[in-house]
């Protein structure tokens, strides 16, 4: 091979090497460029993943707050601060759509705590959250709500002007020029199928990506859920303390609030008053016009109380036709003025079909009539029933505990039972008894009480004699004095003597008047009458709660063989023991359908036989001494 041929061959081989190197370089460049692109894509995906992760954490944070039963305001404030801080928005707020007698308006319910809002508040000379904002039908808010979709607007100044038209244009311009925000993203909020308001985001960007829209939609749903849960919680909470018919507080809330008021009054040495109100003739309204009109009358009382109460007063429906009002810081003279105002306002109400309605009202004052709140409630009830007994549609001021007689308490108790029809009694009989209590002969209420008690007894025991109840009470009081019982115990005994057998009214007359021997089942049924009297008839009457244990245990025997609790000896109240022995004596000396009456001496002999068993021997001894003296 010639020299030139060798040279050509070398050149060819060099060219092949150069070509291979060049091709390899191109491959390397392509690989490098691919790596750069891949790194860029990884970086972008990582950034998107971080954003998604932040969004998920924010949503989880909201969910955790909702499950923690935090107050709605606290939840919403945390929400707007979370999205503002974690997701880079400049400012966030939640605006609520409200309505009053003047129309629709807007209010900022929650907003993020940031530099932007502080600057705006300073420029408009006051916090925007404290303003009553205008609802403009042409604004982005109205459009977003109408179309039920997320809206973006770059017109920040126009949006602010639409809700606060009183802010000067130059201030609006200064707000916009000094703000880094480029747009407002408005998300309408709906709860339970009704429009609630808007969630607003102030963004540094003028565009809204599809991913951002999806996230804000989900985020808004979480806000809606938080609002719905809070609303339901408030409804349940309100139902627990309010009366469904009237919207007033219920007995449960009244009693809890009363405890707080007592604490405050004791600490500040400041009196407060309680007004007790009872709607007159509710049963007649129900019977004549129907329960719908009875409900109307009750709701009317509630509306009158709302209109005539101060903002610090607390009105409650205690049940049925009874209402109470607490007047903080008001003495008896002020409470009487307030009560008279309520009475007059109710009297002036004219209802369809029913016409005029009235009420009987009682007033008592804590620290003035008593420093015991139970006494105050009892005195209020007693005063209220005094109003009812003395003609209704009037206000009565309670007497201090020391001035309240046992006759007044007993009369009020009978009036309460007869007026509320807690016992099965013919209407004409009930009205006759109430008339006797309201209009006692010679103005001696205790004589009327004896008459009413005798008449009630005759409804289930036709063989009962008039005048026996008076003899029973006098004998019981004489016996109590032999044991030096305090005056208060003796007064309670007087009332208990009038009421102890009232449970018999709830038993079948055929059972009580049966001429043949009773079966075991029938005897057990009769034994229920102390419990019936105590728990079904008397327990709802607040001011005689200390009478109930006396009546409940008046069939307990000294040796523990009695009923209903089978307690024995000193565990039995002395007043209950006295009722038992007096009742036994008069039962023996009265005729029964299954036997003739015994003479007083025969009755005493029967009682002697059970001394130390059925009754205390000392009690028997004193009892016989009294009977022998009378005989």
CA 390/CA 394 separation, integer angstroms: 8
CA 392/CA 347 separation, integer angstroms: 11
Q: What is the pLDDT of residue 68?
A: 45
CA 193/CA 431 separation, integer angstroms: 54
Residue 307 dihedral angles phi and psi, to the nearest 5°: -70, -30
Q: What is the pLDDT of residue 67?
A: 47
DSSP 249: B
Residue 325's nearest CA partner among 378, 249, 400, 382 is 249
Residue spans of alpha helices (H) in 124-209: 140-147, 156-163, 169-177
Sign of CA dihedral 417, 423, 428, 429: negative
What's the helix, strand, coil split of the chain in %, to 5?
Answer: 60, 15, 25
Per DSSP, which regions of 502-628 are E strands?
A: none
CA-to-CA separations, 367 to 288, 324, 329, 401, in angstroms, rounded? 43, 18, 11, 12
Q: What is the pLDDT of residue 88?
A: 61
CA 104/CA 474 separation, integer angstroms: 72
CATH of domain 72-240: 3.30.450.40
Q: 200 - beta bridge partners?
A: 93, 186
Q: What is the pLDDT of residue 165?
A: 92
* Gyration radius (Cα) of the chain, Å: 42
CA-to-CA separations, 463 to 189, 342, 568, 594, in angstroms, rounded? 76, 48, 32, 12
Q: What is the pLDDT of residue 414?
A: 84
CA-to-CA separations, 242 to 278, 302, 568, in angstroms, rounded? 19, 12, 44
* Structure tokens given for 372: 């015991």
Residue 197 dihedral angles phi and psi, to the nearest 5°: 170, -145
CA 308/CA 211 separation, integer angstroms: 57
Give the domain ranges of the chain.
72-240, 245-404, 405-631
CATH of domain 245-404: 3.30.70.270
CA 268/CA 20 separation, integer angstroms: 103
Q: What is the pLDDT of residue 87?
A: 58
pLDDT tens readout for residues 89-112: 888 899 999 988 788 999 998 888
- Residues serving a catalytic function are 321
CA 551/CA 537 separation, integer angstroms: 12
The whole model's pTM is what? Answer: 0.46
Residue spans of alpha helices (H) in 200-314: 210-241, 251-268, 282-289, 291-308
* Structure tokens given for 43: 């970086």
* Structure tokens given for 46: 């990582």
CA-to-CA separations, 141 to 209, 218, 243, 498, 628, in angstroms, rounded? 20, 19, 38, 72, 96
CA 375/CA 454 separation, integer angstroms: 30
- Could you write out the three-class secondary structure of 258-284? HHHHHHHHHHHCCCEEEEEEEECCHHH
CA 354/CA 297 separation, integer angstroms: 8
Residue 264's nearest CA partner among 312, 309, 311 is 312
Q: Judging by DSSP bridges, how do beta strands 394-397 and 359-366 pair with one another?
A: parallel
Residue 543's nearest CA partner among 428, 425, 430, 385 is 385
Overall residue count recorded for the chain in this entry? 631
Give the DSSP letter string of 481-502: HHTT--HHHHHHHHHHHHHTTG
Give the chain's residues under pLDDT 70.
Answer: 1-36, 38-39, 41-72, 84-88, 230-239, 401-404, 421-422, 440-445, 506-516, 522, 525-527, 529-530, 532-535, 593-594, 628-631
CATH of domain 405-631: 1.10.3210.10
Q: What angle do CA 305, 309, 310 make, to 5 degrees?
A: 165
pLDDT tens readout for residues 561-584: 988 889 999 999 999 999 999 988
| Edge-to-edge strand ranges of the sheet holding 194-203 | 133-134, 103-111, 91-100, 194-203, 183-191, 151-153
Mean pLDDT of the chain: 82
Residues 6+ apart with CB under 8 A from 546: 492
Residues 6+ apart with CB under 8 A from 562: 555, 556, 580, 614
CA 464/CA 455 separation, integer angstroms: 9
- 161 near 172, Cβ under 8 Å? yes
């Amino acid at each position: 091979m010639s020299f030139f041929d060798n040279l050509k061959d070398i050149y060819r081989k060099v060219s092949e090497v150069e070509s291979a190197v060049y091709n390899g370089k191109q491959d390397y460049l392509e690989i490098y460029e691919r790596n750069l692109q891949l790194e860029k894509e990884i970086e972008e995906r990582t950034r998107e993943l971080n954003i998604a992760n932040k969004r998920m954490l924010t949503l989880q944070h909201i969910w955790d707050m909702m499950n923690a039963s935090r107050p709605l305001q606290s939840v919403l404030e945390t929400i707007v601060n979370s999205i503002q801080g974690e997701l880079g928005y400049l400012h966030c707020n939640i605006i609520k759509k409200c309505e009053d007698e003047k129309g629709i308006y807007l209010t900022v319910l929650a907003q993020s705590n940031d530099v932007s809002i502080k600057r705006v508040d300073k420029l408009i000379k006051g916090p925007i959250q404290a303003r009553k904002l205008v609802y403009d039908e042409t604004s982005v808010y109205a459009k977003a709500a109408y179309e039920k979709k997320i809206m973006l607007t770059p017109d920040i100044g126009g949006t602010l002007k639409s809700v606060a038209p009183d802010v000067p244009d130059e201030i609006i311009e200064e707000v916009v020029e000094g703000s880094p925000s480029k747009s407002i993203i408005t998300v309408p909020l709906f709860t339970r199928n009704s429009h609630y308001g808007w969630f607003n985001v102030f963004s540094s960007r003028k565009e809204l990506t599809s991913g951002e829209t999806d996230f804000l939609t989900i985020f808004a749903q979480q806000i809606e859920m938080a609002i719905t849960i809070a609303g339901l919680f408030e409804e349940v909470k309100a139902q627990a303390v309010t009366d469904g018919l009237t919207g007033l507080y219920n007995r449960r809330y009244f009693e809890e609030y009363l405890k707080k008021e007592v604490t405050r009054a004791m600490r500040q040495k400041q009196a407060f008053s309680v007004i007790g109100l009872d709607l007159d003739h509710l049963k007649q309204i129900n019977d004549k016009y129907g329960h719908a009109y009875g409900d109307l009358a009750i709701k009317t009382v509630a509306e009158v109380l709302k209109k005539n109460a101060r903002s610090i007063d607390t009105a409650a429906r205690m049940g049925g036709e009874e209402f109470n009002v607490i007047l903080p810081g008001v003495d008896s003279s002020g409470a009487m003025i307030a009560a008279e105002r309520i009475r007059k306002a109710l009297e002036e109400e004219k209802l369809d079909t029913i016409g005029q309605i009235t009420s009987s009202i009682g007033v008592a004052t804590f620290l003035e009539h008593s420093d015991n709140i139970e006494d105050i409630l009892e005195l209020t009830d007693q005063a209220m029933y005094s109003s009812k007994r003395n003609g209704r549609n009037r206000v009565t001021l309670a007497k201090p505990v020391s001035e309240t007689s046992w006759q007044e308490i007993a009369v009020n108790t009978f009036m309460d039972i007869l007026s509320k029809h807690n016992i099965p009694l013919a209407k004409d009989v009930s009205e006759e008894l109430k008339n006797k209590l309201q209009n006692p002969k010679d103005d001696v209420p205790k004589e009327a009480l004896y008459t009413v008690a005798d008449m009630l007894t005759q409804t289930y025991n036709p063989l009962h004699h008039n005048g026996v109840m008076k003899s029973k009470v006098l004998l019981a009081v004489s016996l109590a004095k032999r044991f030096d019982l305090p005056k208060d115990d003796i007064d309670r005994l007087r009332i208990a003597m009038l009421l102890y057998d009232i449970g018999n009214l709830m038993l079948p007359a055929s059972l009580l008047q049966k001429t043949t021997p009773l079966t075991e089942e029938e005897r057990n049924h009769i034994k229920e009458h102390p419990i019936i009297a105590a728990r079904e008839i008397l327990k709802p009457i607040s001011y005689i709660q200390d009478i109930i244990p006396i009546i409940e245990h008046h069939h307990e025997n000294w040796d523990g063989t009695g009923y209903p609790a089978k307690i024995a000896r000193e565990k039995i109240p002395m007043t209950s023991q006295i009722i038992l022995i007096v009742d036994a004596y008069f039962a023996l000396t009265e005729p029964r359908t299954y036997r003739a009456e015994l003479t007083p001496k025969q009755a005493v002999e029967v009682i002697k036989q059970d001394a130390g068993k059925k009754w205390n021997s000392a009690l028997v001894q004193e009892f016989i001494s009294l009977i022998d003296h009378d005989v």
